[in-house]
Structure 1
Amino acid sequence: MKKTITNMIRWGAVLLAVLVPVVVNAIESATINVVLKDNRVVSNVVNATRIADNTTQIKILAKDIPANCKYIEIFADNAVAEKGQDGFWIMNRGLMGYFNKDNGKFSASKKYMYLPYYAMKSPQENFIAVIDGMRFEFNVNVEVVDGVYKMYPRWYISDIGFAPYEDIVITYYTLPKDADYNEMAKIYRKHRFAQNPKIKPIKERFKTQPLLEQVAKSFPVRMDFARKHFNRKKDNANFYQRGTKPWVDEKNGIKADREERAPISRHYSSGIAMMHKMKAIGLDDIFICASGFQDGGYDGRCPTTFPICKESGGEEEFKKYLAEGKKLGYVIDGHSNYTDAFTCSPDWSPDNISKSPDGKLELNGAWSGGKAYNLCLANAYEKYIKRDLPKLATLGLRGAHYIDVFTAVYPYRCCDPNHAGNRKQMAEIQDKIAQLCRDLFGGFASECGFDHIIDKVDYINYVTAPMRAKYVYKSKGMQFVDKFVPFWELVYHDIVLHNTDKVTQGTLNQDNNLILVEFGGRPIYYGVNDNNLPHIKKAYDQYMKLRHLMLEEMLSHKEVAKYIFVVSYANGEKVVVNKTKSSYTYNGVEIPAKDFRLISAKK
């Protein structure tokens, strides 16, 4: 049973505000619960520091966090609601819930806190809380007990692996009563831009990144060349190094019992043939991400890159493929993985791997190369990345080099004293790698919408995938979420080229196509073949009519009638999306059922 102890530690509070329209109230206090490792609770009510009429702040100094702290929870006074009240809660990429439940809980994983904020609109308060400091160590929770809601962040201090390394700062912005997630997103945007002046719109970056304009107007596809067969449900993930016998290293948690499989491949010349087919049907503006070209193919022998996959033809044939793409007017860059490390890699060494505080090698799952160990970037940056990326650039890859997972999950910490780094320090190395990619290839890309290095990211494959979790996988936890809105896009649409969710990739039914258009996303295909070429052409033709909007700030997203959405952009144009089974007239323009229309600025 938890015991409560009051007023045992000291808290501080101060910072600068990002101004928003003046209103009379704001978050005035918060209850801070510090749960210790023996499950005692240190509880303290603190007054927030007022920065403006509508802005307050809570600050917890890193030096004041007890050494035996397990986790910290912060409960703002008005971050509460009751079932049946008007309003909503919202977090992360735009997961929204109404006050319609008696009991339940939704907790976002701290691994996937893409945007560090939480917000709530209720009769008590309409606010957004923006979080700075130890952003990789917290999550956001929404709980309802007997119809009473509360929303709060929790910092998992004992999981850091290091002493607390930053002060925790929460800035609370109170909005007018009639404001909604649109205004919340714009406050978050203003806060982040003030915090990091290096964040610039795509159009501005054309001046310093000559290839970015072509990348921005192009339709993205991936061409995969080699990968090992791996069935997660049936196959054993225990691989061992080439040229050795099966071995066991219990200290490092490695148990390998079989030889790796050879990659299944297609020749680089087949990629040339496919590019000519694409060109022949009018696919003129294409950005290609070449994947599986490394030694061992896709996710095959990471972090090893060279030699270029011999099963697909080797380095010279790969260079011919890149050169031919350039002749056709295409931009081709590559897909790299500096997140995972596999025991079958020629470069395998336990020294490469992120260690937990007790010295164990840390894992993140299993892929084609076997069990995926967390590659320590502090070690790999000097040992492999600075060596291999320049060599890749000499082959002719250009556009925006894709490094898997950097923006899909929080940075992996490493507690190995020989190359230790907390998550913030690893994020700083990710930032260096992203800049190196821009210098060498012209741009940088990654998987999802984590915004810790957003000023260096040019495109992502998708923002994140809660829609797939809710509608396809029927995730039990996701049923607490009532809807999704483009909060991330309202912040970053004109900063990073993006697709919306896993349900908006590849060949789409019309319902998912309308989600893609509503959220301002660009299509993407993870493969090109004779069967999907007609579908790619159809998606390409639609995208050509909308691609100019990828460079414009998304100003607002409004549901003007049930399942009728109007999305406004900074150039004055609007996209009206009709998800109903009947036509709808907007300002004299008929929007057919299950369709959309681009409305000019004059309408």
Structure 2
Amino acid sequence: MTSVKANDMELRLDEESLCYMFSKGEESWSWREEAKARLECEEGTFCFQEAVLVTHKVIETGLGNGIQSHFEGFEVDGIKVPYSFDTIVWMEAATGDVFCEWIPLCEEGLRVKAVYWPGEMEFEEKKESWYTLLNHQQGLMIPNDWATELTSVVFDGFFGTAGGYMPWIAQVRDRAGYIAICTTPWNAGYNAEHPAGGPYTHTGIRFEPSLGKMEYRRIVRYTFLNDCDYNDICKVYRTYVKEQGRLRTLTEKAARNPSVDRLIGCAFVHKGIKNAVQEDSDFYDTEAPDKNNSLTTFAAREKEMRRLKELGVEKLYLHLDGWAEPGYDNQHPDYYPACEAAGGWAGMKSLADTMHELGYLFGVHDQYRDYYLASPSYDEHYACRLADGTVPAHQRWAGGPQAFLCGSQAPFYVKRNFSRIRRHDIRLDCAYLDVFTCNEGDECANPFHRMTRRDCCDYRNQCFEYLMSVGLLPSSEEVSDWCIPSLVFCHYAPYDFMMREPGAPKEGIPVPLYNLVYHDCIIEPWMMEKVSEKEDYMLYALLNGGAPYLIREGAYPNTDGSFEVGAEVAIEDNIRRSRIVSDLHKKVAKCEMIRHEMVDGDCQVQRTYFADGTTVTVDFNKQEYVIAG
């Protein structure tokens, strides 16, 4: 056993199991031996202990001290290969934080698919007060005794996707806890396992290659807290991003574009113009071909907006799908011209002008990832190419076969396309760039425009920044950590259960982890469906101090949380409910969410506290809410 101490922290390494123990004062956390540190490779799985040469040494620098381990040589089919790497686990003297670093040295002989390290913590006691926090969409708390099994997390928990809005995991046991922040999140994600009823939840971080190589140092930072709850965990992360200069608030964004203030308190309306599902699309309905196509004119949408104004809707944002030829999710990035059968450019301009006459905001759906083979400018040279030379493709969406546009090209297409719209004297207020903040960053091995996932996120932010520079408020599908400096609003930032069939059992307690960090940084519209007499999504909109969806018409049935639920509600009642949420949003949109709690320990009664003194209490059993302050 090798031991290193600094202030009230101690590290201990068991050289045989390669497991670490971390002690802070009276509290200790240990990696569990069953979850062995390992490399998953094309050639098989190799535990760290299987290295031909393993050495350890204590290190001390001007910043702190720790343990450095060296692993060299592995046997593949009886032949030794030179693959080698180091790990460094060290304590920062100034903060007490522990850094776990994995450093590739020689990548010859193994083709790594994933590195599972640092280890998973022992977390075996079946107690409600022992819980795990996962950034699966808005946030999920899994008590160790939770009855429902955790099934697959979307995008396999990859950071920077809907499965990992923020790059950290955390666990708390009887008010002692830790947060593990992946400070190099671009090719990383988390794994989690919770069987029905517990008695444990296991979670850990994995690192994946970049363009076929591990290539660079991977880092996880642990902060240990001996008296905390999930609010304290979230505030540790908020402090971290603030230190990084990435905490950009709506107040700051409004200083750059005053339209941010006009969007706050809006009712959101999601409508479309033209749908055209191609025969070679997975969504094509062969049994009912008429369902594959639909058309609503710009004039009809204009009439609907005037009607909403007559009904008393004062602030409204219209998100318009399918406004261009040849219809929604077709031929991107060559989405042009405005749908002729719906009224063409003249009809679209009339709708835009009407929106502004009514005092409303207007924005359009667009897409710069899906690269349709039917688009006039399609060229495989600009499609994302994997390290093995293949070009990924599928045909899921309406436009049929597609590859993925290399993100290096997206800023140019965004500039081209929105310049075209301006030439027709159509004034937009907002622009929605689909999937950028929901799907993982792409990679491209083409040497003419080589792109890592980190590069891809930078290119996506460039697209958002261009829109801001020309006066448009940028939005995208969901939210993520990397987009906060550049994004103003999103399509939604739901709890994971909202994306599943209504009535399905919840796989943990929904908690607003993302909003506890970023509420005052981004505008989130919320689903408002009254799913049943026992579930009203409006309560979550209020609890989170978000904006309301007055009307939300999904493009694809039973996809992306678009389900036919409950009885149809009269538009007047929807407006009444929406106004309640909008009024709260006007008040708290720019306020930090200070705290969230289970009232008297009951997860069916929750309360949020905002920086201006406002509190929102919801009782999910009684389907009631109270707004105070």
Q: Taking structure 2 as the reference length, what is the TM-score of the superposition?
A: 0.77
- Residue number among 202, 205, 209 corresponding to 1:153 in the alignment: 205
* Shift in CA distance, 95/262, structure 1 to aligned 2, threshold 3 Å: closer
SS at match of 1:207: helix
The corresponding residue for 2:213 is: 163
The sequence identity of aligned pairs, in percent, is 18
Alpha-carbon spacing, 1:346–1:7, altered in 2? closer, same or farther (3 Å): farther
Structure 2 equivalent of residue 554 of structure 1: 593
Distance 1:54 1:365, change over 3 A: farther
SS at match of 2:307: helix
Q: Does the CA contact (< 8 Å) of 1:29 and 1:48 recur in 2? A: no
Q: CA deviation at 1:286?
A: 0.8
Q: Which residue does the alignment assign to 1:541?
A: 579
- Aligned 8 A contact 1:401 1:444 in 2: yes
Match of 1:517, SS state, is: helix
Decide which of 96, 99, 103 is 1:61's aligned counterpart.
103
Displacement of 1:263 in angstroms is 5.4
- Which secondary structure state, in structure 2, belongs to the residue aligned with residue 223 of structure 1? strand
SS of match in other structure, 1:138: strand
- Distance change >3 Å, CA 58–CA 472, structure 1 → 2: same
Q: Compute the displacement of 1:371 (Å).
A: 3.0
- Equivalent residue, structure 1, for 2:239: 190
State the 1:391 CA deviation.
Answer: 2.4
The CA distance in 1 between the partners of 2:356 and 2:539, in whole Å, is 33
2:127 is the alignment partner of 1:98: no
How much does 1:227 deviate?
A: 1.3
The SS at the match of 2:459 is: helix
2:547 alignment partner, one of 511, 522, 534:
522
Given the superposition, is the C-alpha separation of residues 54 and 141 from structure 1 closer, same or farther in structure 2, using an over 3 Å criterion? same
Within 2, Cα distance between the matches of 1:25 and 1:97?
Answer: 21
Cα deviation digits, residues 164-205 of structure 1 (max 9, x gap):
35421111111233x21111111111112211x243211232
Equivalent residues of 1:57, 1:172 under 8 A apart: yes
Quote the residue 2:416 is aligned against.
387
Contact between 1:24 and 1:53, CA under 8 Å: does it hold in 2? no
Residues 88 and 102 in structure 2, CA contact (< 8 A), matched pair in contact too:
no
Gaps of 5+ in 2: 1-13, 19-23, 50-68, 70-86, 555-567
Q: Is the 8 A contact 1:200 1:455 kept in 2?
A: yes
Instruction: Output aligned runs, 1:420-459, within 5 Å.
Output: 420-459=450-489
Q: Which protein has the bigger strand share?
A: 2
2:147 and 2:580 mapped to 1: Cα distance? 44
For the 8 Å contact 1:354–1:412, the answer to whether it is kept is yes
Post-superposition shift, 1:508? 5.7
Paired residue for 2:80? none
Would you say 1:121 and 2:162 are equivalent positions?
no
Q: Distance in 2 between matches of 1:149 and 1:444?
A: 38
Is 2:271 the counterpart of 1:223?
A: yes
Deviations along 1:408-447, whole A, 9 cap, x unmatched? 1112222233332121111111011110011123321011
Q: How does 1:551-590 map to 2 (within 5 A)?
A: 551-561=590-600, 562=602, 563-581=604-622
Question: Aligned ranges for residues 217-366 of structure 1 at < 5 Å?
Answer: 217-229=265-277, 235=284, 264-363=294-393, 366=396
Partner of 2:181, secondary structure, is strand
Aligned residue for 2:599, secondary structure, equals strand
Distance in 2 between residues matched to 1:353 and 1:552, nearest whole Å: 41
1:194-247 superposed Cα distances (whole Å, 9 cap, x missing partner): 11x24321123221112110012322212311111479777379xxxxxxxxxx
- Of 531, 536, 547, the residue aligned with 1:511 is 536
**Which has the larger displacement, 430-439 or 23-32?**
23-32
Secondary structure of 1:420's partner? coil
- Code of the residue aligned with 2:419 in structure 1: it is P
Which residue matches 1:89? 132
* SS of residue paired to 1:311: coil
Cα distance in 2 between the residues matched to 1:535 and 1:576: 22
Equivalent residue number for residue 246 of structure 1: none
Whether the 8 Å CA contact 1:50–1:57 is kept in 2: the answer is yes
Specify whether residues 77 and 467 from structure 1 end up closer, same or farther in structure 2 by C-alpha distance, changes over 3 A only.
Answer: closer
Q: Does 1:205 align with 2:217?
A: no
Residue 398 of structure 1, aligned match among 428, 440, 445: 428
State yes or no: 1:80 paired with 2:128: no
Aligned partner letter, 1:514: L
Distance (Å, rounded) in 2 between the aligned partners of 1:389 and 1:339? 16
Task: Judge conservation of contact 2:298–2:347 (CA < 8 Å) in 1.
Answer: yes
TM-score by length of 1: 0.80
Distance in 1, Cα, partners of 2:339 & 2:25? 62
Deviation for aligned residue 1:550: 1.8
Q: CA separation in 2, counterparts of 1:432 and 1:102?
A: 44
Q: Which residue number in structure 1 is paired with residue 10 of structure 2?
A: none
Alpha carbons 2:253, 2:488 under 8 Å: kept: no
Give 1:404 shift: 0.4
Structure 1 portions without partners, runs of 5+:
1-5, 11-21, 238-258, 582-593
